[in-house]
Amino acid sequence: MENQHSTLGIPKPVQIFTWILIAAGSFFFYVYTFNPSLSFPNASLDTYAAKMGFASTGVRILGSVLALLISVLANNPRWLFITLISRVFIELGDVVVGLLLDGVTANTGALLVLAAVEIWAVLKLWQVIKDRP
């Protein structure tokens, strides 16, 4: 009997999670690029460094959203696997920065949960990739 993963591409739960990441990422691209005070009430865009910091974070988020979108539309588990691996490292890096700057906050907790779910998705994708040489 043929393995069920061999013809499915990206598993449905991972696809759903990816669409959630795309929607959330699109929102946060808007927030960081155009209206950081939505997430950071004390955000000030009075300096070039602040503007550049928020805008470059927005661009990074947009790049990740586009990679997720391309991977899920192509139904390519290998592309999504590598995209999510890079996101796990980004989330964990953001956790470290958050801990250094603010200590334990709801944001660092949320990023840890997000990284954990991304690791779950990576493991699901690894099963598909491993089963389909």
How do residues 32-58 score in pLDDT, each as one tens digit?
999 888 888 888 888 999 889 999 999
Which of 71, 53, 52 shows the shortest CA–CA distance to 122?
71
CB-CB contact of 83 with 30 (8 Å): no
Place of tokens 């591409």: 9
Task: Please tell me what DSSP assigns to residue 106.
Answer: H
Q: pTM of this prediction?
A: 0.86
pLDDT in tens, 14-29: 999 999 999 999 999 9
Neighbouring residues of 58: CB distance < 8 A, sequence distance ≥ 6: 28, 29, 30, 31, 32, 33, 34
Task: Please tell me what DSSP assigns to residue 40.
Answer: -
